[in-house]
Chains A and B, each alone.
Chain A
């Protein structure tokens, strides 16, 4: 194996409806089209050496920060690979950053996620009150159907921070604006994972707060929890420090880009 590369990518807009399996097929094909020399496993049924790091954003949830690692058979320039792979993927699956893997496990660095939840049509005052109650609680038991059946767990402890804000939303083509609540939260990765919908369930349980339409959820970042800011730091920081370094894209908050 010549080189291991770490990739940060986004799923945006209508491609948020891709499942993890959909993304993995799309990525394998994109790598072939882009002529990336991916290493293959040996054996009867060879498969490309790609590992997805951390828990994938669920189907229907957009993300600005998904991570994977690729092994290649000859050295590649991370910046060039970023551009080639991004051009080869469908718009909406966007490669944001590629670095050469340094020492240490990337998975260990993905300690927490920052999420943004848009709740169009929700009442801001009710949302703020619900968030206050949520934050004041010690423990909030929620239930979710997982692969292992219905599980009951605490949705409060993993939440590092949760706040509600108001956004005046103007729908395209319409003059009228409607109230829209934005929830922002930082959640520690735990087992079982506390997902944004668990937090919404928690808000319903503590304050009977329920959004009128399906929420629009975006993962904004993943990384080690920075105790100063209370938010995830760049998980590639260590890789960049001790290698030639990749090209860093200025990653602004690019959410829900149109296709």
Chain B
């Protein structure tokens, strides 16, 4: 760890070290709606009471509350393949949080992978914690029970690192609940040496600026290797007697350029509100922070032992990532941009992982995950090999995220051979040919009709189609095109089957421009426009006597997308809105029954944040974006060029099969596309 940066920093340490030890003067937030009739300001754990105390299980205290809450089993832990390690012999202790309800958080691959990798390390332990529902939160506040892990029910504040995985920005308020219940100061600047390092990862961490005030650090990209590296830095620092306190630990992490520590960067603004500059505020801190990329997925075959919950969760299956990254180049897709390049897991590793995972879990469904699963170079052999292996065992395979143009019916038949034949889902995303060119989703109407015709004639009766509304340059006609497309799909189905018993469900999501995509400069459509187009679409389908009843339509109104847009492309000034929403009782914003648009708008007004400025305003090429110092590997000039191409309906090809178009990832990150075919096949499993 001894670098020039470290040495320079040592000289600065006394001044910086003192800053963290000042008294906490933050007023407690008012949470009247959640306080369970008790008017006293409540705090579960004070820093000075924790020190030197043995870390005991909170379960006996929690257990008394469980008979009073919904679905108590989610708080009990003890899942098959979960791990409880000895507290005292672990030098570094991670609490891993997925900031949503257990039923959503438990199946999360990222958390399961890190949980297993960290627990495999010697003298390291990792436990999991999830967002508690408001019924339990109220009881915990009333009884003084702090945020706990589900593994050994230890208090979250006792851990060294609290790692949060943000798949979506809508978990931000749940993070604040967890911090507060844990007794950890909400503002990173108010934390002391006894508080965990609060570290964010996941796709939303590619722009962590809206939560910068609440985070000590953020990590971009694949977590496997960086989680281990961080563990070793923490271990070394603790072994040295925690020199320089929390500030030095953060500095050691920051100077590597692989961990973003928001407090070491200052943001200046122009008078008109745009960002003038984002710059490190002390020597040794690099100007840019880079994302992490695991190059050989065969070396990291996790999860090996999937967690099997007792409670019901959203994905009841064993999932294997068959590749990471996507170079299809859909311009709206943040995942496709920030996870480049494509790295395939080999057919043999996939086979081994499925075999081990099924044995270890007893799941009867295997999901082959990726951003576009049918694009794996050996997907046909994978599907056939697995279907052969699990013939007669009632084990079904599923292939989420299948592109229309990569789909073929042999594949679909293999996937439904041993289990249920579920519906087929395709995502043309845009309703018109022009729209699909803008977003670079190169799927033609002919592709779609040909594919659904085959599917219907092979016995499928139901096809699901995903679209977006509110895309850049979109006009009413583009959205009405969705209705035309759906009608043609039904027409093709009726012709192929000679029956009127075919259905098609259209699901529509609101488009939200995301950081690190060509649409990062785009104006988001306001919710009135989105709602008007959706209504016109609905009327067009409803009024159709011939096809209307064969087509189902699912959509949400446009308001939640505006809040997501504010959080996605927000800067540090948006943090005050998040906090105000949370203080007003905002929780579980990803759940429509808990989400309140009005609460977000009121909080923004109170914080003096102009929501339109962040969402529906188009950005200029040279405007400093809040995430410009965070490097996803993509060349900014290429992103801008691709944005210009989008507006001019110019498409780009997939660089897996055509020459490189210089998005910048491979040269900057020192990576390259890694795809097969390996030419190997899956052999039958030997019977034990």
Q: Which A positions have Cβ atoms within 8 angstroms of B?
A: 14-15, 17-19, 21-22, 25-26, 28-33, 40, 44-46, 59-60, 88, 90-92, 172, 213-214, 259
Contact = CB atoms under 8 A, between A and B. Distances in A.
A25 B76 contact: no
A157 B504 CA distance: 56
Given A14-B59, A46-B394, A60-B67, A19 B73 contact: yes
B308 interface: yes
Given A21-B312, A214-B67, A15 B72 contact: no
Contacts of B77: 14
Nearest to A27: B362
Residue among B73, B394, B420 with max Cβ neighbours from chain A (10 Å): B73
Contacts of A91: 78
Contact of A33 (B67, B78, B311, B362): B362
Contacts of A18: 73, 310
A213 B68 CA distance: 11
B316 interface: yes
Given A15-B78, A46-B394, A26 B359 contact: no
Contact of A90 (B64, B78, B311): B78
Interface in B315-343: 316
Nearest to A35: B688
A44 B461 CA distance: 14
B629 to A, nearest CB: 46
Interface string B498-510: 0000000000000
A28 B420 contact: no
Given A17-B72, A59-B72, A22 B362 contact: no
Given A15-B78, A21-B312, A29 B73 contact: no
Given A40-B394, A90-B80, A214-B64, A28 B364 contact: yes
Contacts of A214: 64, 67-68
B59 to A, nearest CB: 7
A28 B362 contact: yes
A187 B59 CA distance: 32
Interface in B44-74: 59-60, 63-64, 66-68, 71-73
B363 interface: yes
Contacts of B671: none
12 contacts: A14-B59, A14-B63, A14-B77, A15-B310, A17-B73, A29-B364, A33-B361, A33-B362, A45-B420, A59-B72, A60-B72, A92-B78
Nearest to A47: B394
B495 to A, nearest CB: 25
A200 B73 CA distance: 24
B136 to A, nearest CB: 12
B2 to A, nearest CB: 46
Residue among B67, B79, B80, B358 with max Cβ neighbours from chain A (10 Å): B67
B583 to A, nearest CB: 32
Given A25-B312, A214-B64, A33 B359 contact: yes
Contacts of B311: 22
A17 B136 CA distance: 15
Contacts of A59: 72-73
Contacts of A40: 394
Contacts of A172: 60
A214 B143 CA distance: 15
Given A22-B311, A45-B420, A90-B310, A17 B362 contact: no
A-B CB proximity, top 4 nearest: A29-B362, A32-B362, A17-B72, A33-B362
A18 B76 CA distance: 9
A40 B73 CA distance: 28
A46 B392 CA distance: 11
Contacts of B64: 213-214
A29 B363 contact: yes
Given A17-B66, A22-B312, A26-B308, 7 more contacts: A25-B312, A25-B316, A29-B361, A29-B362, A29-B363, A33-B361, A92-B78
Contacts of A28: 362, 364
Nearest to A38: B394
A19 B72 CA distance: 9
A46 B76 CA distance: 31
Contacts, number: 67
B63 to A, nearest CB: 7
Contacts of B361: 29, 33
A115 B218 CA distance: 53
Given A90-B310, A214-B67, A17 B78 contact: no
Contacts of A19: 71, 73
Nearest to B313: A25
Contacts of A46: 394
B481 to A, nearest CB: 35
A213 B60 CA distance: 13
Contacts of B66: 17, 60
Contacts of A26: 308, 310
B80 A22 contact: no
A45 B365 CA distance: 13
Contacts of B364: 28-29, 32
Interface in B338-372: 358-364
B75 to A, nearest CB: 8
A33 B60 CA distance: 31
A81 B60 CA distance: 34
Nearest to A61: B67
A92 B60 CA distance: 16
Contacts of B316: 25
A29 B394 CA distance: 12
A14 B312 contact: no
Nearest to B75: A17
A18 B525 CA distance: 45
A31 B67 contact: no
Contacts of B310: 15, 18, 22, 25-26, 90
A46 B396 CA distance: 11
Interface in B393-430: 394, 420
Contacts of B78: 14-15, 90-92, 259
Nearest to B76: A14
Given A29-B363, A60-B67, A17 B76 contact: yes
Nearest to B359: A33
Contacts of A14: 59, 63, 76-78
Nearest to A171: B60
A30 B362 contact: yes
A198 B660 CA distance: 72
A152 to B, nearest CB: 24
B217 to A, nearest CB: 34
Given A29-B308, A31-B362, A32-B362, A22 B67 contact: no
A91 B72 CA distance: 17
A140 B312 CA distance: 38
Contacts of A29: 80, 308, 361-364
A144 to B, nearest CB: 16
B430 to A, nearest CB: 34
B685 to A, nearest CB: 13
A172 B686 CA distance: 50
B318 to A, nearest CB: 10
Nearest to A30: B362
A197 to B, nearest CB: 11
A259 B72 CA distance: 16
B617 to A, nearest CB: 48
A10 B508 CA distance: 46
A22 B308 contact: no
A89 to B, nearest CB: 9
A240 B644 CA distance: 80
Interface in B280-312: 308, 310-312
Contacts of B359: 33
Residue among A14, A45, A60, A92 with max Cβ neighbours from chain B (10 Å): A14
B352 to A, nearest CB: 18
B420 A22 contact: no
A17 B78 CA distance: 12
A18 B358 CA distance: 23
Contacts of B63: 14
